[in-house]
Amino acid sequence: MAAVMSVENPHAEDWPRSAVTGFERIASHVIDTSDGRSMGYAPLVTVDQLADFEDYAYNYFLNVRDPPFAEEDIVNSFGRGVWGVNSNGRYRETDGNTTYNTLNRIFAPVLQHNLGNKILMMNWHYEETRGSMIDAMMSCAEKRAQHNNESIRCSFITDFIILNGGAKTP
């Protein structure tokens, strides 16, 4: 799927504003050829890029995607934005901090998912299970770039994770 994303968005300046038309359909077909159940796409977003990315994402969800999502199905009680989950439910993420020790102050918000809108804008980097894999992938990609060696594989798979996205807070 990474190849599809990079072919659809080949220029560095396209990122993280990088939705792919028909992602849900493509992902569903890819899943049918594997043992998977769902597939999502989460571009890496820096703290400085966050506001622009959020504007882009909600414009895509509400105006570009066909069919568009209804606003009430994608906006949380705190409003629009990237979110994490704690004991109180969903909360807005703004600073790139995590629940574990990482050097990367970034976000990995779900921009597209084959199951639709249930976890859109959830930050996959905020907690250790997914975040440490993202950190390892970033480290591997830096090594591959330093050595100019595309044969270095930077794919990682986490243990089984239930993607319930946390309860929507009233």
Q: Note the pLDDT tens digit of each residue in 85-106.
A: 988 999 999 999 999 999 999 9
Between residues 46 and 17, which one has the greater pLDDT? 46
Identify which of 53, 48, 49, 46 has the alpha carbon closest to the alpha carbon of residue 18. 53
Alpha helices, H only, the chain: 2-8, 23-32, 50-59, 71-74, 128-146
Q: Is the pLDDT of residue 113 over 70?
A: yes
Q: Is the pLDDT of residue 110 over 70?
A: yes
Q: Is the pLDDT of residue 160 over 70?
A: no
Q: Is the pLDDT of residue 147 over 50?
A: yes
- The pTM of this model reads 0.85
Q: Is the pLDDT of residue 169 over 50?
A: no
